[in-house]
């Protein structure tokens, strides 16, 4: 535990150095506190995962060095329900009547087993974080506020409302459109625009008419936050508010728990309350007037605290969702990503890129290349040829300070597994037959050896590969094409069919399919490819695809041939 297990050469290590030093300066001997904030206002998008992964990786490195760390995830479930999201099953337009209520007071979608809206959308994120090996302390802001946990801070903020107002006033004229809340970062530029229109960016900072109050009650009659504080007495804490519904009430804030500080005050209050040393936020918060910048002044001037080390992270995009989004109701969640890729791969995407570098998470064909790259890295780690920074990213991906994450015992190529899943449509006996023939010298004996990677590849094929790109092996030979073949084509098919039995493995069939055009050209099997040979190989492959699957492309041919089976290959090739 006390030894650093990773080289000190990557961004995670450098932040860990800074965070440990800052924590020892500010709170010697106390656990190091890092934080994330998530708003369960709807499905928590994959784009928001960076909010958690950035502090998680730093926290994990600090734990590996033997320090105690608290990674707080603030569930901003006491935020107002802003809008009815699109594409969420089990809701209808009647949910609009809840706009303005705390997220924990909005009913969950129909059929949900959770007691309210916030819990319904929190649960899949909690499950995904568990699978990713993210250890955290979840803090419900509903629980904190309604229990009066922040009482002292709320009264303090109200007492110092003029100071807060003065800080906010430095920025009010700047009209910064990105000055909104940091949670629920959008996943790409289009989403960014959508989110900015949603009200997140234009959140009320507490200004109402002539007076400024940093606290907003939820209405005692309609539960919404469409309230205006009309009077406040510092001495007695007597507060009067009115609501657009017509309700008005006078309460004592020293014993009232149904309301919250406005976001730009709430966030720095919590930095001070929890002693947060590290909390990143999205790049849209680097501008003057953003809640991170304003919060830095409020925490110092009002709460006598210190702003966390807070790197800005770039957006994480998704590739391959454009086609799917209309049918699947929008952007994917971390749980969706974990259905098509193993947790270490997803962790690796975050570990290998500095927070200020943007990247995309592939839901399209690119995922196969990504897996190839990951497998190459694993081999380099195994043979010791890996570079230090790559080794660090790898070790952060495959496990945490608590231990290794589950991995696939025999990590066969994702590309191959996807092709097999494509062709077999998930039929287990056929899948096992094909996989056991890939390498006859060391056959797969059970599908458990290739799980969970096999399940992820199957899930990718069935969920994200469009029907027109799926492989359908012909039931009957393509008689028309076969009848029109010239002598050279017939000869190539004959050479292939003849070689099937003696080459029946992944490696053997690779040699065979590339070798047939060489033999026809009078070249030796190990001849270097010439431009002419490459053309001949492409032509030959296109013919095979046409005869086997009725298209001019498909899964890699050796995999396809193994999957189709020798007998059926012979039949489809007219032998």
Residues in touch with Zn ion (CB under 5 A) = 219, 221-222, 243, 245, 247
Determine phi and psi for 416, rounding to 5 degrees: -65, -45
Q: How far is the CB of 227 from Zn ion (least distance, A)?
A: 7
By beta-carbon proximity to Zn ion, the closer residue of 100 and 311 is: 100
Structure tokens at 193: 């625009």
Structure tokens at 456: 């992820």
Q: What share of the chain is helix, strand, coil (3-state, %, to 5)?
A: 50, 10, 40
By beta-carbon proximity to Zn ion, the closer residue of 82 and 396 is: 82
147, 257 in Cβ contact below 8 A? Answer: yes
By beta-carbon proximity to Zn ion, the closer residue of 218 and 303 is: 218
By beta-carbon proximity to Zn ion, the closer residue of 9 and 146 is: 146
Cα separation, 304 vs 157, in Å, equals 12
Tell me which residue has tokens 């002539």.
210
Q: How far is the CB of 120 from Zn ion (least distance, A)?
A: 24
By beta-carbon proximity to Zn ion, the closer residue of 39 and 227 is: 227
By beta-carbon proximity to Zn ion, the closer residue of 98 and 518 is: 98
Cα separation, 71 vs 51, in Å, equals 12
By beta-carbon proximity to Zn ion, the closer residue of 226 and 361 is: 226
Beta-carbon neighbour count of residue 539 at 10 Å? Answer: 13
Query: Could you write out the three-class secondary structure of 475-494?
Result: CCCCHHHHHCCCHHHHHHHH
Cα separation, 490 vs 470, in Å, equals 27
Cα separation, 563 vs 420, in Å, equals 6
Q: How far is the CB of 220 from Zn ion (least distance, A)?
A: 7
Q: What is the 8-class DSSP label of residue 86?
A: T
By beta-carbon proximity to Zn ion, the closer residue of 64 and 98 is: 98
By beta-carbon proximity to Zn ion, the closer residue of 29 and 246 is: 246
Q: How far is the CB of 228 from Zn ion (least distance, A)?
A: 11
Q: How far is the CB of 373 from Zn ion (least distance, A)?
A: 55
How remote is the C-alpha of 212 from its chain's centroid? 39
Tell me which residue has tokens 């991906």.
397
Q: How far is the CB of 402 from Zn ion (least distance, A)?
A: 47
Q: How far is the CB of 216 from Zn ion (least distance, A)?
A: 12
Q: Which helix (H) or strand (E) covers residue 260, if one does?
A: strand 259-261
By beta-carbon proximity to Zn ion, the closer residue of 262 and 548 is: 262
By beta-carbon proximity to Zn ion, the closer residue of 245 and 472 is: 245
Q: How far is the CB of 80 from Zn ion (least distance, A)?
A: 13
Structure tokens at 29: 């001997």
Give SS3 for 217.
Answer: strand
How remote is the C-alpha of 335 from its chain's centroid? 8
By beta-carbon proximity to Zn ion, the closer residue of 20 and 243 is: 243
Cα separation, 429 vs 414, in Å, equals 19
By beta-carbon proximity to Zn ion, the closer residue of 145 and 241 is: 241
User: What DSSP string describes 344-372?
Assistant: HHHHHHHHSS-TTS-EEEESSTHHHHHHH
Cα separation, 350 vs 55, in Å, equals 11
* Helical segments of 147-233, H only: 151-159, 161-172, 189-197
The helix-helix angle for 557-564 and 414-424 (nearest 10°) equals: 40
Q: How far is the CB of 224 from Zn ion (least distance, A)?
A: 5
Q: How far is the CB of 106 from Zn ion (least distance, A)?
A: 15
C-alpha distances in angstroms, 13 versus 25, 428, 561, 574?
Answer: 18, 44, 47, 61
Q: How far is the CB of 218 from Zn ion (least distance, A)?
A: 9
Strand pairing of 207-208 and 238-243?
Answer: unpaired
Distant-in-sequence, close-in-space partners of 168: CB < 8 Å, separation ≥ 6: 205, 206, 207, 212, 264, 294
User: What DSSP string describes 54-83?
Assistant: HHHHHHHHHHHTT--EEEEEEE-TTSBP--
Strand pairing of 312-313 and 281-282?
Answer: parallel
């Amino acid at each position: 535990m006390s030894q650093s297990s990773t080289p000190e050469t990557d961004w995670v290590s450098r932040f860990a150095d800074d965070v440990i030093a800052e924590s020892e300066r500010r709170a010697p001997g106390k656990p190091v506190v890092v934080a994330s904030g998530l708003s369960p206002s709807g499905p928590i998008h994959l784009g928001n995962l960076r909010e958690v992964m950035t502090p998680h990786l730093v926290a994990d490195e600090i734990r590996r060095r033997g320090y105690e760390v608290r990674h707080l995830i603030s569930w901003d479930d006491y935020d107002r329900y802003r809008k009815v999201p699109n594409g969420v099953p089990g809701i209808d337009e009647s949910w609009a009547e809840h706009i303005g209520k705390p997220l924990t007071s909005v009913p969950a979608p129909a059929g949900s087993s959770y007691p309210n809206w916030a819990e319904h959308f929190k649960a899949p994120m909690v499950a995904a974080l568990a699978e990713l090996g993210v250890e955290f302390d979840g803090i419900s802001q509903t629980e904190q506020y309604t229990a009066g946990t922040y009482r002292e801070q709320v009264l303090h903020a109200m007492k110092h409302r003029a100071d807060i107002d003065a800080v906010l006033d430095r920025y009010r004229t700047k009209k910064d459109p990105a000055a909104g809340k940091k949670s629920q970062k959008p996943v790409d530029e289009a989403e960014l625009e959508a989110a900015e229109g949603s009200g997140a960016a234009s959140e009320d900072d507490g200004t109402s008419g002539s007076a400024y109050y940093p606290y907003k009650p939820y209405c005692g009659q309609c539960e919404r936050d469409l309230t205006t504080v009309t009077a406040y007495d510092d001495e007695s804490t007597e507060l009067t508010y009115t609501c657009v519904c017509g309700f008005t009430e006078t309460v004592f804030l020293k014993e009232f728990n149904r309301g919250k500080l406005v976001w730009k005050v709430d966030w720095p209050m919590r930095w001070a309350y929890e002693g947060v040393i590290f909390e990143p936020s999205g790049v849209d918060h680097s501008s003057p007037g953003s809640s991170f910048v304003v919060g830095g002044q409020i925490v110092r001037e009002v709460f006598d605290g210190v702003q966390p080390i807070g790197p800005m992270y770039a957006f994480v995009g998704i590739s391959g969702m454009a086609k799917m989004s209309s049918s699947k109701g929008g952007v994917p969640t971390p749980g969706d990503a974990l259905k098509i890729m193993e947790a270490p791969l997803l962790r690796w995407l975050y570990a290998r890129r500095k927070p200020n570098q943007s990247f995309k998470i592939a839901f399209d064909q690119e995922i196969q290349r990504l897996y190839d790259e990951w497998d190459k890295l694993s081999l380099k780690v195994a043979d010791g040829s890996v570079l230090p920074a790559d080794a660090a990213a790898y070790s952060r991906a495959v496990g945490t300070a608590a231990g290794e994450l589950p991995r696939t015992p025999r990590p066969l190529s994702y590309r191959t597994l996807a092709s097999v899943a494509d062709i077999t449509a998930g039929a287990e006996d056929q899948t096992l037959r094909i996989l056991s023939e890939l390498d006859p010298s060391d056959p797969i004996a059970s599908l458990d050896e290739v799980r969970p990677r096999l399940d992820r590849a199957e899930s990718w094929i069935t969920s994200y590969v469009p029907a027109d790109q799926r492989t359908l092996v012909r039931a009957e030979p393509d008689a028309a094409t076969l009848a029109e073949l010239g002598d050279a084509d017939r000869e190539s098919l004959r050479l292939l069919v003849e070689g099937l039995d003696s080459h029946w493995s992944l490696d053997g069939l690779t040699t065979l399919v590339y070798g047939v055009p060489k033999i026809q050209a009078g070249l030796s099997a190990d001849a270097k490819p010439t431009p002419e040979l490459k053309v001949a190989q492409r032509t030959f492959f296109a013919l095979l695809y046409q005869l086997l699957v009725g298209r001019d492309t498909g899964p890699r041919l050796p995999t396809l041939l193994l999957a189709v089976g020798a007998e059926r290959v012979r039949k489809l090739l007219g032998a």
